[in-house]
Copies of this chain bind each other. A is one copy, B any other.
Amino acid sequence: MAGVKDVARLAGVSVATVSRVLNDSASVTDATRARVLAAVDELGYRPNAVARSLRTDTTRTIGLVIGDILNPFFTELARAIEDQARASGYSVVIGNADERPERQDHYVRTLLEQRVDGLLLCPTAEITPLVRDVVSGGAPLVFLDRTLPGLDVPTVRADGAAAIAELVRHLARLGHRRIAFVSGPALLSTGRERTEAFKAAMEAAGLAVRPEYLEAGDFQAASGRAAAARLLDLPEPPEVVFAGDNLMALGALDEIRARRLRIPADVGIASYDDVPWFTHVDPPVTAIGQPVQELGRRAVRALLERIEGRPVEPAVLDARLVVRRSCGEPADEPGDEGNGSEGSGRP
C-alpha cells in the first residue's frame, strides 16, 4: 500500500511537503499542492491513521461502552452520540457490555489500549478494579445514564424521580393501590434511584409499599418476564406492574400474554423508557420517556471538554410521563396518540 514516501517521489517533493498538503498546515505553493494532490489520487493513497496516531498521540476517536446493544434506549443514545461526535470530527467506537462487568472491562481495556481520546461509559452494576484504576488514572472519562457510588466522575443522566412521582399519582387517581415495581440492579444508580423514587412516591400518595411487590431484574427482557411471573403468582397479585426499563417491560408483556391475561382488566403495565412500538401494543403502554437526544449531545460535549482539559458541568435532565392506556386510563384522556419519546429517529 502506497505511503507518503511514494506520493512524495511521484510528486517530486519531500515527505514533509506531502504531509503539509494533507494537513493543510503551513504554507505550500498552489502548484506543488496540486502536484501532490494529483499524486495522491493517482496512487489511491490512503493515509495510515495508525501511524499518524502514534506520532500525534491522538486518535480523534472516542469510546462508548453501552449497557446492551439490544436495548433501544442505548441504540438511540448511541445514534445521538455518533451524530454529535461526527459533527466535532470524532469517530465513535462502540462496545457492548451486555450488562456484564467482565465484558464491560474487556471493552474499557481494549479501547484504552487503542488509545481513544476519551471514554463514555454506562457502567454496569459493579465497580470493577479496572474502572477504579481508570478513574484514578485520570483518563478523560464521563459516565452516562448511570453513576457509580463513591466515584468522582462527571455524569450525564436523566432524573426520573419527578416523572415516577407523577406516574404513581396518576395510578392512585385511577384507583390503583397495589402497585409493583420491577427495578434494575440495586448496585446501579438507575436501579437504586428509581426504586427510591418509587417508594417515596408511594408513601407520598398514601399507598403501602409491600415488600413482595418490589422485584429486581437486570434490565434485560428475561428478568422482566421472570419477575412478572413471580408477581402474578402471588396470592394477591398487583393491579399494576411498573417495569424499570423497556426490556423488562417487554419481558413482562411476554409473560402476561403467555398467561392470556388482559391488560388492564387483569393487570396493568407501565414502563420506564418509552419506545416507538409502545403505541401499537394492545393497549398502548403508559411510559416514562427520557430525553435521549439531549443526553447524547450533552455527553459528547462534556467529554470533549474533559479531553481539552476544561472543567465540565455534569448534567441532570428530566424524564417525563407519557400517559396512554395500559393502566386503565379512560378512553378520552389525552396522550393516547403519538409517540412520547423525543428523538425517536422517526421524522
Contact = CB atoms under 8 A, between A and B. Distances in A.
A250 B339 CA distance: 12
Interface string A244-276: 000000110110011000000000000000001
Contacts of A127: none
A150 interface: no
B54 A51 contact: yes
Interface size classification for chain A: 35 or more
Interface stretch (A73-81, A179-187, A302-310): A73-81
Contacts of A49: 110, 113-115
Interface stretch (A90-98, A154-162, A204-212, A230-238): A90-98
Copies of this chain assembled into the complex: 2
13 contacts: A46-B113, A50-B114, A69-B78, A70-B76, A70-B79, A79-B96, A86-B106, A94-B94, A222-B346, A225-B346, A250-B277, A281-B282, A282-B283
Interface of A: 44, 46-51, 53-54, 59, 69-70, 72, 75-76, 78-79, 82, 86, 91, 93-94, 96, 106, 109-110, 112-115, 133, 137, 220-222, 225, 250-251, 253-254, 257-258, 276-277, 279-283, 337, 339, 345-347
Closest 8 CB pairs of A and B: A282-B282, A221-B346, A49-B113, A70-B345, A277-B277, A280-B281, A50-B53, A49-B114
